[in-house]
Chain A
Amino acid sequence: MEPLQLIFLVTGAVTLLSALMVVVSRKMVHAALWLVMTLASVSVLFVLLNAPFLAVVQVVIYIGAIATLIIFAVMLSRRSMDDRGPQTSHRWWLAGLIALALFAAIVLLVVLHPMPTAALPGAAPTEALRQLGLALVHVDGFVLPFELASVLLLAALVGAIFVARPPDADTAGGEE
C-alpha cells in the first residue's frame, strides 16, 4: 500500500502549494489559474477516495464552470487594481495568525481522537455509483434536498443574470 500513500503525499503537496499560490499571488489571473490547479488535485483526491463520480463532477462544475466564471470576472474587473497598491489588507498578519491557530486546533483534535487507519470495504465503484444515483432520487433518500438544491441553483442563476445586467437594459427589454 506504499504507492497509494506516495500518490496521496504528492497530490496533497500540490494541493497545498497551489492553494498557497492562490492566496498570495499578486496577479488575479495567476491566482485564478492556481485555483484551477488546486481544484484538479482535489479531484485526484476524490479518485483516491473511491468517489469517481465526484471527481468528474469536480472537473465539470468547479473547473469547467466556477473557475471559468472567476476568470471572466477577473478579466472584466482588471483595470481597477491590477498590480498597483497592496493586495492584502494592513492586518494580514492577524488573518495569518487566526488561520494558523485554527489549523493547530484541528490538528490537535485529529491527533487526540482515535481515527480509523484503513478504509472500510465498500461496494465496488459501479455499484456505489448506482446506489448514489438511487439515493438522490429515491423518496427514502435525498430527493427533497436534491430538488431544493436544483431550485436554489435556478434561483441563484436567475438572480445573477438580473444583478449583473447593465443598468440601461432595465428599460430596453422589459416590455414583453
Chain B
Amino acid sequence: MIPLSWYLALAGALFCIGMYGVLARRNAIAILMGIELMLNAVNINLVAFWRYITPTQMSGQAFAIMVFAVAASEAAVGLALIISIYRSRTTVVAEEIDMLKW
C-alpha cells in the first residue's frame, strides 16, 4: 500500500510550487493559476486523510466538494476582475494595478 506520508509530501510540494507561483509571478492570471494549484494540494490532503483515517465518515469528501465550489467562484470572480482591469488599464501585471494604493 501507499503510505499516507507520500500523499502528504506530494500535496506539500504541490502547495509550495503554487505558493511560489503566487509570490513570484507578475501576471495576475498566473497568480490565479498558482492559487488553483494550492487549492488542488489542499484537496489531495483532504481526500488522503479521509481515506486513511476516517473512511466511514464522509466529512473529507464533503469538504473537498466545498473546496471545489469555492475554487470555481474564486476563478470566476478573479478572472472577471482581471478582464475588467485589462479593459480599463490594458495591463495584467499585478504591480501595475495600483489604483487603490494612494
Contacts and interface: CB of A to CB of B under 8 A. Distances in A.
Interface of A: 1, 4-5, 8, 12, 15-16, 19-20, 22-23, 28, 31-32, 35, 38-39, 42, 45-46, 48-51, 53-54, 57-58, 61-62, 65-66, 69-70, 72-74, 76-77, 79-81, 85-89, 91-92, 94-96, 98-100, 102-103, 106-107, 110-111, 115-123, 128, 131-132, 135-136, 141-142, 145-146, 149-150, 152-153, 155-157, 159-161, 163-164, 166-167
Contacts of A142: 58-59, 62
A95 B52 contact: no
Contacts of A157: 73, 76
B83 A152 contact: no
Interface in B39-71: 40, 43-44, 47-48, 50-53, 55-56, 58-59, 61-62, 64-66, 68-71
A94 to B, nearest CB: 8
Chain B interface bracket (under 10, 10 to 19, 20 to 34, 35 or more): 35 or more
Interface of B: 1-10, 12-21, 23-27, 29-30, 32-34, 36-37, 40, 43-44, 47-48, 50-53, 55-56, 58-59, 61-62, 64-66, 68-77, 79-84, 86-88, 90-93, 95
